[in-house]
């Protein structure tokens, strides 16, 4: 026993807390924006269009007494493609693995059936996990905001109202989450905010600009593959391909006289330069791959790595 005690000694301090907080909710309620605001840095792309986040992503918040590993997840929705299935699988597993569930709802609109279904999913996959209900987008509500319809979504006593963009309520949210985490060590150095590698970050930044500047089906139909990434002193060279599903979408992403692809490139390059802290040479091309959202091999190639289906 003495030996075990020395192996498992609590040398991080008895009262340090750490663990996974799964950030769950409908698409577009502000999950990624809220994580970025809590960290004071952009770790996940966020856009006004729903279904922006496609993968599990960690946002690491470190204070003197806690390390909170925020798990950003795809918004929960009814999937129509293999990509949609992948996104829902990611969200479900984040729920299962969580030490605490942070359920974000949009306070500025009445709760919908989809919100209630998320409540059911939490009951099914994380029944015994502490739950915090976060009413976000408070800045879009009336002064005399009535939260009663949102409170009916859950009987959790842990409710926080926030605005990720103002920002407001973030300290309250951290104060609410921290005591719900188990005691544990720091898993990452204090200065680390993300696990993502630069290739992934570059692809996401380019995808964010595509989503921001285009409309209709394009945001859902776009995937970005980094074909070449080279960091040299003072300059990074990146070659990226934007995949869409139809010729007509390719025309939209390129734009009249190449104007749209230029706009996407200029905005992405500016942000990449800031992130990489180097000059960036960015080349972007657009390719069509019909129905790639149901193409397992391609999805794996661009990081939507569904496990291989078992043969019956």
Ligand X SMILES: Nc1nc2c(ncn2[C@@H]2O[C@H](COP(=O)(O)OP(=O)(O)OP(=O)(O)O)[C@@H](O)[C@H]2O)c(=O)[nH]1
Choose, by CB under 6 A, the member of 18, 51, 67, 284 that binds ligand X: 51
Residue 46: count other Cβ atoms within 10 Å of its Cβ. 23
Backbone angles phi, psi at 105, to 5 degrees: -125, 155
- Which of 17, 22, 24, 33 is close enough to bind ligand X by CB under 6 A? 33
- Side-chain half-sphere exposure of 146, counting CA atoms within 13 A: 3
Q: Which does 27 bind (CB under 5 to 8 A by kind): ligand X, Mg ion, none?
A: ligand X
Tokens coding 229: 């990434």
Cα–Cα distance list, 120 to 113, 116, 151, 239 (Å): 11, 6, 15, 43
Give the total of residues touching ligand X (CB under 6 A): 24
Please give the residues from 126 up to 165 whose contact with ligand X meets the rule CB under 6 A: 136-137, 139-140, 163-165
Contact predicate 205/266, CB 8 Å: no
Q: According to the binding rule CB under 6 A, does residue 307 interact with ligand X? A: no
Burial 211-240 (b: 16+ CB within 10 A, else e): bbbbeeebbbbbbbbbeeeeeeeeebebeb
Task: Choose between 32 and 284: whose C-beta lies nearer to Mg ion.
Answer: 32
List the one residue out of 89, 96, 151, 85 whose CA is nearest residue 124.
Answer: 96
Cα(79)–Cα(76) distance, integer angstroms: 9
173, interface contact from ligand X, Mg ion, none, CB < 5-8 Å by kind: none
CB of 214 to ligand X, least distance (A): 15
Cβ atoms of 245 and 289 closer than 8 Å: yes
**Chain length of the chain:** 312
Stretch that binds Mg ion, among 48-56, 116-124, 151-159, 260-268 (CB under 5 A): 48-56
Indicate which single residue of 47, 51, 53, 221 sits in contact with Mg ion (rule: CB under 5 A).
53
User: CB of residue 233 vs ligand X: minimum separation in angstroms?
Assistant: 35
Query: Which of residues 19 and 75 has its CB atom nearest to ligand X in the complex?
Result: 75
How many positions of this chain bind Mg ion (CB under 5 A)?
Answer: 4
Decide if residue 32 touches Mg ion (CB under 5 A): yes
Contact window for Mg ion (CB under 5 A) among 52-60, 141-149, 190-198, 264-272: 52-60
Candidates 23-31, 86-94, 169-177, 260-268 — which segment interacts with Mg ion by CB under 5 A?
A: 23-31
Measured from the CB of residue 299, what is the shortest distance to ligand X in angstroms?
A: 18
Residues 65-94 close enough to bind ligand X by CB under 6 A: 74-75
| Separation of CA 115 from chain center | 18
CA distance 35 to 288: 33
**In whole angstroms, what is the distance from residue 76 CA to residue 102 CA?**
13
Q: Which does 59 bind (CB under 5 to 8 A by kind): ligand X, Mg ion, none?
A: none
Output the six-digit token pair for 82: 């293999």
Q: Going residue by residue from 10 to 29, which x/- string records binding to ligand X, judged by CB under 6 A?
A: ---------------x-xxx
Binding site for ligand X (CB under 6 A): 25, 27-33, 46-48, 50-53, 74-75, 136-137, 139-140, 163-165
Binding site for Mg ion (CB under 5 A): 31-32, 52-53
């Amino acid at each position: 026993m003495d030996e075990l005690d020395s192996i498992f000694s609590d040398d991080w301090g008895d009262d340090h807390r750490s663990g996974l907080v799964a950030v769950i909710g409908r698409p577009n309620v502000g999950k990624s924006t809220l994580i970025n605001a809590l960290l004071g840095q952009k770790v996940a792309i966020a856009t006004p269009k729903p279904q922006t986040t496609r993968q599990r992503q960690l946002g690491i918040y470190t204070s003197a007494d806690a390390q909170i590993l925020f798990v950003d997840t795809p918004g929960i929705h009814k999937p129509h493609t293999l990509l949609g299935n992948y996104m829902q699988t990611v969200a479900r597993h984040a729920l299962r693995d969580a030490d605490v569930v942070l359920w974000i709802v949009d306070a500025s609109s009445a709760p919908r059936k989809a919100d209630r279904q998320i409540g059911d999913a939490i009951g099914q996959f994380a029944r015994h996990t502490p739950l915090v209900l976060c009413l976000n987008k408070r800045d879009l509500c009336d002064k005399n905001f009535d939260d009663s319809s949102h409170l009916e979504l859950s009987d959790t006593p842990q409710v926080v109202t926030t605005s990720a963009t103002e920002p407001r309520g973030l300290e309250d949210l951290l104060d609410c989450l921290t005591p719900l985490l188990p005691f544990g060590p720091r898993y990452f150095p204090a200065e680390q905010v993300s696990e993502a590698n630069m290739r992934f970050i570059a692809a996401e930044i380019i995808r964010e600009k595509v989503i921001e500047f285009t409309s209709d089906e394009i945001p859902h139909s776009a995937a970005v593959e980094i074909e070449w990434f080279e960091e040299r002193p003072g300059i990074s060279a990146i070659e990226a391909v934007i995949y869409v599903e139809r010729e007509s979408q390719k025309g939209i992403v390129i734009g009249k006289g190449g104007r749209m692809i230029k706009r996407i490139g200029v905005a992405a390059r500016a942000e990449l330069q800031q992130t990489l802290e180097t000059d960036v040479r960015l080349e972007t091309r657009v390719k069509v791959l019909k129905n790639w959202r149901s193409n397992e091999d391609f999805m794996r190639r661009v990081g939507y790595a569904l496990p291989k289906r078992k043969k019956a």
